Amino acid sequence: MTEKQYKMVLDWMRKIHQLEYAHRYESIFYANAEKWIGISAFVITTLVAFSFRIPNVEPQLYQELPFFKT
């Protein structure tokens, strides 16, 4: 292996090493972002679910439903 080839291989190895670290840090960033997006989506969903009100239903209507008949 010539000196020029050796330097080229070392340069490639350095670049690969830098890319590995960049990918690792980017992966950690997106994992944290995904966690916060998931938590905020859960909170919004919970708020919407608890703000929904079931309409008033007369007790006679419950008796007419087929799965409440005895």
Give the pLDDT confidence of 4-52 residue by residue, as tens digits.
899 899 999 999 888 888 888 888 889 999 999 999 999 999 888 887 7
Counted domains in the chain: 1
Token pair 């005895």 is at which residue?
Answer: 70
pLDDT digits (tens, 9 = 90+) for 27-40: 888 999 999 999 99
* More confidently predicted of 29 and 68: 29
Give the pLDDT of residue 34.
Answer: 94
Does the reported pTM lie above 0.85? no
The 3-state DSSP composition of the chain as helix, strand, coil percent (nearest 5) reads: 85, 0, 15
Type of residue numbered 41: A
- Domain residues for the domain of 35 are 3-68
* CA–centroid distance for 7 within its chain: 42
Token pair 């919970």 is at which residue?
Answer: 46
* More confidently predicted of 10 and 62: 10
Give the pLDDT of residue 24.
Answer: 84
